[in-house]
Amino acid sequence: MTSPQLSPNDIRTLFSRAMSEMYRDEVPAYGTLLDLVAELNGKTLAGHPEEKARLASLGELERLSEERHGAIRLGTAAELATMRQLFAVMGMYPVGYYDLSVAGVPVHSTAFRPLEDAALRANPFRVFTSLLRLDLIADETLRADAEAVLAQRQIFTPGCLRLIEKAETEGGLSAEDARSFVAEALETFRWHTRANVDHRMYRRLHDAHRLIADVVAFKGPHINHLTPRTLDIDAVQRMMPEKGVAPKAVIEGPPARRVPILLRQTSFKALEEPVDFITDGTNEPGSHTARFGEIEQRGMALTPKGQALYDRLLGETRAAITPAPDGSNAAAYMAKLQEIFAAFPDDPEQLRKDGLGYFRYSVTGKPASAADVTRDADALIAAGLLRADPIVYEDFLPVSAAGIFQSNLGDDAAQTFGATPNRDMFETALGARVIDLHHCYAEIEAASLARARSELGRSAAA
Ligand code: OOG
Ligand code: NI
């Protein structure tokens, strides 16, 4: 008799909780942020009963306190390919391709996340996963040395690899195996206080780009931040200093709006942490700056048309004023952002009619007649038979991600490589195609409309 398998959703929840506990222990400021976010989410919900009821009816309330994303940076194609297999055990798949070379960061990325509605509702845990691009490093000797160091390391435990294989051949894991899998997988994301290289090598890597040192000089891809979801990011940004945590200068993403869109994010600066370098067999104390904390507020997913409008308005804002890392023009930047984004409709029905966002359709419960069933969605909404709620954006934004990278790498690290997206190279390393994010939302929208229609049909026939 084999024991019943634990669902990938449950394995993901175990893993996300274990990761959060580990990071809370390792980076105490993350715990402070979690408490602040929980406190402010509680206040927001208490002050807005309709919003609370709406979130509850969409099944978003329960997931809120569980919700977070993390980020890791990998060194080799083989690491990325195995990481894909590891995340698949937890029902997480690569969605989207993000090129960060545009922003002077030598990586390209995807996000591993659940795909289906039910899985997202169960636990939307995501991991923003970057692959270092040594092909962007001009110094050939350094590139070869970095490759040699990376070729020596094994970031997965033997137990983890064995359980990935077992999950693949048996189509899942028992509860007992799932618990061992989570414990083994956690080892890959743990912080190591001892570097993989000597101090001289670390300096060479660091001088080429701090990110290169962060990936190459360590035994594994330590989780570099975990991000809870807030309902009021402006309040978190305001309150962070009161809790002794210094936020980055500006909130990335769109401005505050009546109907939130996409994703707004802020972070606190990376910590300088003690690290031991092993030089000629002896410990040499030093430090490394990589791990930080981030908070995000999620809004409606945008269609390609909506995303294009967002990109254009953000581009206009940044052409007019570039946020200075020291925060000296933060107020002027936020004011400009608000002013330029006045051109983005801010009414749910307008956004839907203009085809700017993705919506989830459902029946209101009002009785329908047989004739209603043939009417189009707009007419059914106008007649009060259907309702449409914005679908939450589950992905990331490359300009924001670059801003988060930059604020944590320090201004000295701002370099230019020139935009050289290379999705083919990324997908070859991954061993799979990345999933198109618009496809995910369009499918959820279409399925919700089809379901709502068939419910209307049934109620009309009854
Ligand atoms: C990832 C930065 C991107 C986000 O939320 O946009 C990111 C990193 O620093 O490794 O996490
Ligand atoms: Ni992040």
Give the dihedral of Cα atoms 183, 186, 192, 196; nearest 10 deg. Answer: 100
- pLDDT at 188 (0 to 100): 98
Q: Does residue 419 have a pLDDT over 80? A: no
Does 242 score more than 80 pLDDT?
yes
pLDDT at residue number 203 = 93
Are the beta carbons of 131 and 107 closer than 8 angstroms?
Answer: yes
Note the pTM of the prediction, 2 decimals.
Answer: 0.94
Beta bridge partners of 56: none
Atom 9 in ligand 1: which residue has the minimum CA distance? Answer: 405
Q: Is 73 near ligand 1, meaning CB less than 6 Å away?
A: yes
Ligand 1 contact via 292 beta carbon (within 6 Å):
no
**Helices of type H across 123-198:** 140-152, 158-170, 175-189
pLDDT of residue 421: 82
Is residue 396's pLDDT more than 80? yes
The residue whose CA is least distant from atom 2 of ligand 1 is 401
Q: What is the pLDDT of residue 416?
A: 61
pLDDT above 70 covers what percent of the chain?
Answer: 97
Range of weakest confidence among 129-133, 345-349, 373-377, 446-450: 373-377
The per-residue pLDDT for 459 is 82
Q: How large is the average pLDDT for residues 75-95? A: 98
- Cα separation of 211 and 227, whole Å? 20
Q: What angle do CA 196, 197, 200 make, to 5 degrees?
A: 155
Relative to the alpha carbon of 253, which ligand is closest? 1
Rg (CA), the chain: 23
Domain spanning 5-298+394-431: CATH 2.40.110.10: no
| Mutation pick for ligand 1 pocket among 210, 218, 294, 298 (CB with most ligand atoms within 8 Å) | 294
pLDDT at 177: 98
> Looking at residue 418, what is its pLDDT?
67
Which pLDDT does position 280 carry in this prediction?
Answer: 78
Extents of the domains making up the chain = 5-298+394-431, 302-343, 358-391+436-462
pLDDT tier at 412, thresholds 50, 70, 90: low
Q: Residue 415 pLDDT > 80, yes or no?
A: no
Closest CA to ligand 1's atom 5: 401
- What's residue 443's pLDDT? 95
Find the 110 Cα to ligand 1 centroid distance in Å: 10
pLDDT at 282 over 60: yes
Work out which ligand 1 atom sits closest to the CA atom of 128.
Answer: 11
